[in-house]
Structure 1
Amino acid sequence: MARGFRNERHMSRAPEGEKESFWVSYTDLMSALLVIFALVLMITIYNTQSAYEEKEAAINEKNQMIEEVIGVKSEIIQELIKAFEDSDLALEVDPQTGAIRFSGGVFFDSNSSQVSAKGRTYLEQFIPQYINILLSDRFRDEISQIIVEGHTDTAGGYLYNLKLSQDRALSVVEQVFQPNFPDFQYKEELKSVITANGRSFSIPILKKDGKIDANKSRRVEFKFRLKDDQLLDQLQGLGERDGN
């Protein structure tokens, strides 16, 4: 009986040892899983932080580039405003874009694309000062285009006015390069950047009451574009998407 009792005790202990071994193995497994989970979490946090820092650096670089381009443009505009603020010429300088607008009747008679005597006098005074700023050593490498842009009022059809506005813009450029036009600094350099465009009546000037001002709509504008203007548009577009 004693032998049987000892066997019974021995048999009852075996499952207890197996159970203990099972729990030890389970604990080790959970510990390993926790370690793996902690490592994965740390890697995820590190990668997220790195991605955030890279994105932040890219945004800062983009913003710096925008500030530099805007800074150059603002500097040119301030130079133009300063140069023509006391001028007797009938012109306006847009403080936002730097576009210079000569109102209707300054360069052309009605339905004419031939530069008038008064218009030539204006050009002789305006062009040397204008080009001396844009193509100076300070800004020459920044300038992509100098644009002479013709605009008309709404009298007549669109195509008629498109041709008229194009012819007027081209006449202004032709006048500047006539042999009898007074010589000015950067005249040869100007040939590589100047262009003439016509806009018909697509961008009229409005009065305060919202009606079209026919006289002001008949105009010639001088504009400039920077080499980085397209890049600026792209960067600002990226900024808008990042903001969304």
Structure 2
Amino acid sequence: MADKSSSGNLASSLTDLMTSLMVIFVLLLVATLNNASAEGENTRNRILEDLKNDLKIFSSQGVQVQQDPADPLALIVLVPSGLLDFTVNGTAVPQKGIAFLNRFSPLLAGVACGKYRKEIASIVVEGHTDSTGTDEHNLPLSQQRSLAVVQQTLGALGTEDKACFLDFLSATGRGSREPILDANTGSEDKDRSRRVIFKIRVRSFEQREFHSLFGM
């Protein structure tokens, strides 16, 4: 009986020890993940701030760069009003827009394909329409506008920058989901709603770690 009691006590002690070690391991893992997450967030914020500062070279052309309120990893590049505002149902880039993209695109490529090449995840050209018409009409229309700007952007680049930019660049249409409202009346400004914007998204902590491990 004594042997059985001793064996039982030993098994119970081992179980308690294993449970304690498991708890310690879990706590250490949680602490490590929290530290990595905090470090990743600090790195992300620093990269976004540095990128925003470097994009100030566009301010002389009236371009504004701001944080995307819907995405902590993204910056929105706002083109001056009137340059990429499309005609009703139109998909052709306005002449002023073509002249602007010919100046703007090489500068943007220089920033994206330079020191931020490993930090940027994507550059999305986002097309929009005004609220006139149905979603079935507006979604493909906005997509065609974004594709027209992508083609014009790539056409303004040299061979090397174009090859790099193709790794980042994509086009998407948002239809009439995000109209521009008049600041005074609160009603839609339809001319300004027919537009295209650029969104620059940096890599997340997980993407940077994956890229560091696998070189992708």
Query: How far is 1:147 from its partner?
Result: 1.2
Which residue does 1:119 correspond to in 2? 97
Q: Contact 1:103 / 1:220 at 8 angstroms: preserved in 2?
A: no
Which residue does 2:129 correspond to in 1? 152
Alpha carbons of structure 1 residues 163 and 54: separation in structure 2 relative to 1, 3 Å: closer
Alpha carbons of structure 1 residues 51 and 193: separation in structure 2 relative to 1, 3 Å: closer
Q: Contact 1:123 / 1:176 at 8 angstroms: preserved in 2?
A: yes
CA distance in 1, matches of 2:47, 2:168: 18
SS at match of 1:144: strand
Q: Contact 1:128 / 1:184 at 8 angstroms: preserved in 2?
A: no
Which residue does 2:61 correspond to in 1? 88
Correspondence 1:37-186 to 2 at 5 A:
45=20, 47-80=22-55, 82-85=56-59, 87-89=60-62, 91-96=63-68, 97-102=74-79, 105-107=82-84, 108-136=86-114, 138-178=115-155, 181=156, 183=158, 186=161
CA distance in 1, matches of 2:39, 2:112: 23
Alpha carbons of structure 1 residues 122 and 49: separation in structure 2 relative to 1, 3 Å: same
Q: Contact 1:150 / 1:168 at 8 angstroms: preserved in 2?
A: yes
Equivalent residue letter for 2:67? P
Give me the CA root mean square deviation.
3.3
TM-score normalised according to structure 2 size: 0.74
**Count of residue pairs brought into register by the alignment:** 201
> Match for 1:197 among 172, 192, 196?
172
Structure 1 alignment gaps of length 5 or more: 1-32, 233-244
SS at match of 1:98: strand
Query: How far is 1:36 from its partner?
Result: 9.1
TM-score normalised according to structure 1 size: 0.67
Q: Contact 2:105 / 2:157 at 8 angstroms: preserved in 1?
A: no
Structure 2 alignment gaps of length 5 or more: 1-7, 69-73, 209-216
> Match for 1:187 among 162, 186, 201?
162
Which residue does 2:4 correspond to in 1? none
SS at match of 2:92: coil
Alpha carbons of structure 1 residues 201 and 230: separation in structure 2 relative to 1, 3 Å: farther
Q: Kindly, what percent of the aligned residue pairs are identical?
A: 28
Higher relative contact order (CA 8 A, sep 6+): 2
Structure showing greater radius of gyration is 1
